[in-house]
Structure 1
Amino acid sequence: MRTRNALLAAAIAAASLTACAAPDETPKAAQAAVQAGTPKINDGPDQNRIVPAKVDAIAALVPEKIRSTGRLTIGVGAAGAGFPPLAFTATDNKTLIGSEPDIAVAIAGVLGLEPDLENTSWENLFIGLDSGKYDVGASNITVTELRKQTYDFVTYRKDELAFEAKKGVDWTVTGPKDVAGKKIAVGSGTNQEKILVEWSKQDVADGLPAVDIKYYQTNQATYLALGSGQIDAYLGPNPTSAYHVAVAGETQIIGTYSGAGAGLQGKIALTTKKDNGLVQAYKAALDELQKSGDYTKILQRWNLTSEAVDAAEVNPPGLPIDGK
C-alpha cells in the first residue's frame, strides 16, 4: 500500500512534466492566493461522492445512442501513480479518486447515467476518445487550438501554476518584482523554470536583483529546503501545491497565475469527440452543478477552489498552435 508521502512525491513528479496541462505555457500577471481553512483530504476508498439527482431537461440533451445505454463511460488518464489531488488511486490501490472523477461522476448524475470510470494512460485516453470508447475525458486536459480541431471542450477549472512557501510567511507573489532577489526552487527543464528565468531577466532589466534560482534532485529535498529556510518558495503546478498544503500542513500558496500566458487564462475542460452531440449536455450539467453549489463543494474537497471558473464555456480560446 502506498503511503501518503509516496503519493505526494508521485504527484509532483507527474505534474512537473506538464503532460496534461499544455507544455508551452507562458506567464500572466500572478494573482495572490494565500489559503486559509485548508480542508483535510480523504484519500481512502470510501469517498461519499456527490451524486446529484437526474435533471430531466438536461438528460434529454444526451444523444439517444448514449442515453439508451444508461451509462457514461469516463476516461481518466491517471494510470500508475496518478496525479493527486486530480486523479489517483486511494489507499486500497484500486479505487480511482480525486477532483476529476468527482466532477465526472456528478455530471453523470445530472444526466441520469451510471458513471463508468476507466483509469487509463494519457495516450490511450485520447485513443479511446477518438474511437468512441470513452464518452468523456476528465483528466486535467487543457484547451488548445490544436486539440479543438479534433475535440469539443467544456471548461470547469483554471489552468494555474503556484508559488508555495513556508506556512506563516507574510509576502505574496503578484509579478516578477516580488521574487527579485528571492531564492526560488523550480524543476529543471520544466515550463516553470522557463517562466522563472524570464521573470529574473525582467527584474534585472528593471534594476532589481535577479532571482536566485535553485534546483534540487528530489521533491523531498525541495521541501526540506523550504522547511529549513534555505529557499523562500517553490514554483510548480497549482494542484500539486494545493495537495501538499492540505496533506503536509506546513506550507501555503502565496501566488498563482495562468499557465496560458499574459493575455489568456488557461482552462481545463471535459473533453469529448468533436461533433458527437454531447458537449451541450455537459455544459448544461456543469451549469446545474454550479447553480446547486455542488461544483464548489467538489473543489473544496480537494483544496482547488482557487481554480474555480465563474461559468462553464464551450470551446473557448485555447493555447495557440504556434505557442505565441
Structure 2
Amino acid sequence: MPPPPAPAPPTVPPAAPGQPVGHLGVQVTTEDVALTPAYWNADSTVTTLRVTVTNTGTAPELVRLGYTLPAGLTDAGTPGCAAAGGGAYRCGEWATAPGARFSSTVQVRVSGTAWRAMPLSGSVEVTATAPGVSGSTADNEGFAVLFPPGPPVPGISLRADEVAFDIGGGPSTLAVRLTNTGAVDAAGRVEVVLPNGVTVPGLPAGCVGVTATRTRCDVGQVPAGRTADLRLPVSATPEAQRMAPLSGAVVGRLDPRSGRARQMQMSFKITAAAAGATPVATPVPTGSQGVLVAAGQGGDDSDGLTSVQRTAITLIAVSGLLVVLALALATTSLRRRMSGSTPDPTPTPTGTE
C-alpha cells in the first residue's frame, strides 16, 4: 500500500497570498488479481493488487484511497487500511505534489472456494482535495479477479480469450475453445457468465439465454483429441465500460456416451478503451473513467476555447502563413528568370566564296 501514514495526518501548506491555487485532478489505474494454477492446491491464496495514483492537477493535493473487494476476497493486512463494511476498505490520506505519481500494493487473500462465484471483479477509488480549492475530484477503476482453468480434470481443456471493446464502444467477440483431451468422443457444452451491463446481443445457433447474465451453447460432438470453437458476440453498456476492466466466466463440459462427465471453468478479462467515446480536445485516460474535475475548476477561458484548442489554431495559422510565404518566394523567383535578358543565339559561321 502507499507509505504508512505519519503519526499526524499530513498537511499541504496553503498557497501564498496572490499566488494561484491551481485546479484539482487525480487518476487511478489498477492491475488485475491474477491467480496461478497453484491456487487449486491451497485452502486460500494471498496475492497482490497493484494500484497507481497520479496527481494530474496543478495544486498540491490530499489524496484518499479506498477499494472494494468481491465475495471470497478479503484484505490480508495492508498497512494503513481498515475495513469499512460491505467488502469496502479505506486507507489514510497522503499529500501529493502536482504531477506526483506513486504505485503501491494491496495485500489480498482469495479463499479456496471463491472460484465457485466467478466472475469476480472489484474497484479502487481515489478522492483528492486541496486547501484553497473548492470541492473535490475523484476517479475510480475496476479490476478483474482472474482464475486459471480448473479445477484440473483429466480429459478436458478450456480456453477463453480476453474481450476488448474499442474506442467506439461497439460489440466485441468472445472466443472460447473446448478441447477433448480424453480417449472417447463426448458431447460438448459451454456456459458463459457475464457481469452486469455486459450481454449477448444475438444468440448464435445452438445457444440459449438461461438468465440475463448466463448463456448456454451446445457445441456438438467433440471427437477425442479435437477442439470445438465458439465465438459469441458481446456488448456492454457505457457504464459497464467505464468500470472496466471486468471479468466474465466460462464453464466447459464434456459428456461422453459412457463414463463420467468432465467439467472445468475459468475467468476471462473484459477491457474497454473508453466509454461513450466522443472527440474531445483534451486527452482522456482510457483505462478508467479518467479525471473528474471539481465543479467550478474549469478554468477562466473567456473565449470558450481550451489551451489545447488555442494552440492548435495558432499552429494552423502559422502553417498557412508559411505556405503563402513559400508560394510568394517561388513566384518572385520565376518572374525574375522570365524577365531577365537572354543572350542571342550565336550566328552559324558561313563559308567564304
The TM-score with structure 1 as length reference comes to 0.29
Structure number with the higher strand fraction is: 2
Structure number with the higher helix fraction is: 1
Between 1 and 2, higher relative CO (CA 8 Å, sep ≥ 6) is seen in 1
